[in-house]
Amino acid sequence: MASEGGEKPEVFGVERVAVTTRSYDWIIPTLRLLAFFATLAAALVMALNKQKKTFVVATIGTTPIQVTLTAKFRHTPAFVFFVIVNGIASLHNLLMLIVNLVGRKFDYKGLRPLVIAALDMMNVALVSGGVNAAAFMGQLGRDGNSHARWNKICDKFESYCDRGSGAMLASFIGLGLMIIVNIISIVKLRNHKLVNSSIVP
C-alpha cells in the first residue's frame, strides 16, 4: 500500500483506500512528538531536581550549629529508574519519528510496523513501571508511613517535591499519549488486514 511502503500498489481499487489512510498519517507522528516532549521534560526536570536546605540543629553559646542537607533525585532508586525509562522512551519516540520520515525504504520483508508496535508496547511497560514507582515513592515522601516509621520529608523540601510531582505529571501524560499511539498502530494493522481481504475477488 502506498501509505505503508511494503505493499504492492498495482492492485485495482487500492488507490482510494491508500489516500484515505494517508490523510490521517499526521496523527501518530504528532502524538509521538508530544510524547517525546513529555517524556524528555519528565526526565530533565527529575534529573535536575535538587534542593539545598539549612537546618539549625543546636546552639552553642550564641553560635547556631547548622547542617545543610541536599535532596537529590539520585538518592532515591525509584527516581533514578524514572529518569532512565523516560530517557529511553523519549529516545525511542525520537527514533521512531526519524524512521517515519526517512526509513520507509528500509522495510525488510514488511517487518517494520511489527517491530515498531512491539517496541512501542515495551516502552509503555517501561514508562508505566518508572512513573508508578516514582509516584508511590513521592506519595511516601508527602505523607510518610506511620506503620514503618518513615516520616514525610516534603514538609522540609517543598519545592523539590513540587518539581518531582511536575515531572511525574509530564511522564503520565507521555504514557497516555504512548498508549494512544499503540492502540492506533494496532487499529492500523487491523485495518490493513480488512482492506486487503476486501479487495480479494
Report the alpha-carbon distance of residue 65 to residue 70 in Å, rounded.
17
CA distances (Å), origin 10, targets 1, 2, 122, 193: 9, 10, 35, 17
At 163, the amino acid letter reads R
Q: Among residues 46 and 124, whose Cβ is nearest to its own copies? A: 124
Q: Among residues 29 and 176, whose Cβ is nearest to its own copies? A: 176
Q: Which of positions 8-67 make contact with its own copies (CB under 8 A)?
A: 8, 11
Contact predicate 39/86, CB 8 Å: yes
From residue 112 to residue 141, the character string flagging contacts with its own copies as x (rule: CB under 8 A) and all else as - is -xx--xx--xx-xxx-xxxxxx-xxx-xxx
From residue 161 to residue 190, the character string flagging contacts with its own copies as x (rule: CB under 8 A) and all else as - is --------------x---x--xx--xx-xx
Q: Among residues 63 and 149, whose Cβ is nearest to its own copies? A: 149
Among 25, 110, 155, 159, binds its own copies (CB under 8 A): 110
Q: Which region, judged by CB under 8 A, interacts with its own copies, from 45-53, 86-94, 100-108, 146-154?
A: 146-154
Among 9, 22, 64, 77, binds its own copies (CB under 8 A): 77
